Chains A and B, each alone.
Chain A
Amino acid sequence: MRCHNKRLNKKADVALINVIMFLVLNLIFVLALFVFIDYVGSRALIYEQSYAKQIALIIDNAKPDMVVSLDVSDGLEVAKKTENDFSNAFELKQGRIYVDLGKGGGYSYEYFTNYKIDLNLQGDELLISIQEKEVSDENVVGVTNGGVENV
Chain B
Amino acid sequence: MEVLKMFNRRGELQIALSVWWFFILFFISGGIVISASIYYSTDLDVKWLEADILNQRILDCIIDNSYLVDNISDENVFYENCGLDESKFGKGSKYFFKIWVDDEIVFGGGDYSIEKNCEIKKADIGTSKYFPVCSEKQVLVLDEGGKSVFVLTGSNQNGEVVPGV
Beyond the given A15-B11, A52-B159, A114-B86, could you list 19 further A-B residue pairs with CB under 8 A, ordered by the A residue number?
Answer: A11-B4, A15-B14, A22-B18, A29-B29, A36-B33, A57-B49, A60-B54, A64-B83, A95-B88, A105-B161, A105-B162, A106-B162, A107-B161, A108-B160, A109-B160, A110-B88, A110-B157, A112-B88, A113-B83
B162–A37 CB distance below 8 A: no
B18–A60 CB distance below 8 A: no
- B120 proximal to A (CB < 8 A): no
Determine the interface band of chain A, counting residues with CB < 8 A from chain B: 35 or more
Please tell me which stretch of B40-48, B111-119, B121-129, B135-143 contacts chain A, meaning at least 4 of its Cβ atoms lie within 8 angstroms of it: B40-48
Candidates B4, B18, B50; contact of A7 at CB < 8 Å: B4
Interface of B is mostly: helix
- Contact residues in B for A139 (Cβ distance below 8 Å): 80
A binding-site residues for B, Cβ under 8 Å: 4, 7-8, 11, 14-15, 18, 22, 25-26, 29, 32-33, 36-37, 40-41, 43, 45-46, 49-50, 52-53, 56-57, 60-61, 64, 95, 98, 100, 103-110, 112-115, 132, 139
A57–B36 CB distance below 8 A: no
